[in-house]
Amino acid sequence: MLDLLGIGNAIVDTDVEVDDSFLQQESLLKGQMTLIDSARMTQLVDSLGQRTMRRCSGGSAANTIYAAQAFGLNTSYACQLADDENGRHFFREMQDAGIVTSQISAMNDEQRSGQCLVLVTPDAQRTMCTDLGVSKDFSYARVNESDLRAAKCLYIEGYLSASELSSQSAARSAALANASSTQVALTLSDISMIEFCRDGLSAIMGDGVDTLFCNADEATAWAKTDRLDIAISELKDIAKELYVTLGSEGAEVCNLEGRWQVGGESVVAVDTNGAGDMFAGACLAARLQGAEAIDAARFANRAAARVITQFGARLPSLTDYQLLRATE
């Protein structure tokens, strides 16, 4: 049986270390994600000069599904890929991890798979510049309806709200999941999605979701307040189970049984890219394997703390995930 089906962007991440002056020079908002086109991506890469770049398949939901698979779930990922170097790299890496992934689509030579430039500053903050490529308009045709009906849970990334077609495809998937007794989990993804794509997020949420992931800034942005307690009260009306990550302070967990704050772990952060994706993947893996919400959050905090001690949104190997899970 399929445990978890994810839908989201297929992005190849390129991590690069920069200082704050580079962000200022390029007029980039530190710590946020900015959607750009291919021409802007080329210009930024040229501006980086000879800095070392590290490449890895990514995208928010893809990182979460990768973690969930590595932590023991049976997963599938629906996405849109072009027949180019990045598309083939992404497909191969997901397949090698055991994740059933959408086939590369027949596209013309001018279309490209998505890529994300992750600019990491010395304080471990990441500023992302994303060219969605063919992921910009995610087609519902990429979703295997039989798998969706059979899955225990559907996971959707909020970044899909950036496109009308993608948000419609995500909303349609969520509706089918609800009709099939498949749980729906959603991440708000980024403040920019809340500020500029709120209608798309609302369409995906419909009448509510089973599980919602966000960080404190996203929670307060959604509720249009500076008080986290007010934000949590509002989000509890949207989700049956809510996880609000608090960085080094851990996470707030709320469901019908109660509300808890789970402490974080003290580590030296090198790169916070992917911390939220890892938290969601570890949490869903533990939860779908029978753990209580509070225990799933504790494990997710440990996994997120582990990934930020290195560069990149994924651990170095599948074995690293399995060793981390085995220590629980």
Confirm if 184 and 210 have CB atoms less than 8 A apart: yes
Q: How many C-beta neighbours within 10 Å does residue 325 have?
A: 18
Q: What are the strands of the beta sheet with 251-255, ordered from one edge?
A: 100-101, 75-78, 4-7, 153-157, 183-187, 209-215, 239-245, 251-255, 258-262
pLDDT in tens, the chain (328 residues): 899 999 999 998 888 999 999 999 999 999 888 989 888 998 998 999 999 988 888 889 999 999 999 999 999 999 999 988 889 999 999 999 999 999 987 566 677 889 899 999 999 888 999 998 898 889 999 999 999 999 999 999 999 999 999 999 999 999 999 999 999 999 999 999 999 999 999 999 999 999 999 999 999 999 999 999 999 999 999 999 999 999 999 999 999 999 999 998 889 988 887 899 999 999 999 999 999 999 999 999 999 999 999 988 899 999 999 999 988 7
Q: Which helix (H) or strand (E) holds 261?
A: strand 258-262
Residue 43: per-residue pLDDT: 94
Confirm if 197 and 161 have CB atoms less than 8 A apart: yes
The backbone region for 270, taken as left when phi is positive above 0, alpha when psi lies in -120 to 50, beta otherwise, is alpha
Sign of CA dihedral 119, 125, 129, 132: positive
Residue 327: per-residue pLDDT: 82
DSSP H stretches of helix in the chain: 20-25, 38-48, 60-70, 85-96, 145-150, 164-179, 191-196, 198-205, 216-223, 228-236, 275-288, 293-307, 318-326
Calpha distance 199→233 (Å, rounded): 20
DSSP codes joined into one string, 265-297: -----S--TTHHHHHHHHHHHHHHTT--HHHHH
Token match 């959050």: residue? 297
DSSP codes joined into one string, 154-175: EEEEGGGGGSHHHHHHHHHHHH
Cβ contacts of 246 within 8 Å, gap of 6 or more: 215, 216, 252, 261, 264
Residue 107: per-residue pLDDT: 62
Its domain, for residue 286, covers 4-326
Confirm if 163 and 190 have CB atoms less than 8 A apart: no
Residue 56: per-residue pLDDT: 83
Residue 325: per-residue pLDDT: 92
Q: Report the amino acid identity of residue 79.
A: C
> What is the total count of domains within the chain?
1
Query: What's the CATH number where 84 sits?
Result: 3.40.1190.20
Residue 106: per-residue pLDDT: 59
Confirm if 211 and 192 have CB atoms less than 8 A apart: no
Residue 90: per-residue pLDDT: 94
Best CA proximity match to 279, nearest among 287, 290, 289, 269: 287
Q: Which helix (H) or strand (E) holds 213?
A: strand 209-215
Two tokens at 100?
């059933």
How far is residue 10 CA from its own chain's centroid?
Answer: 11
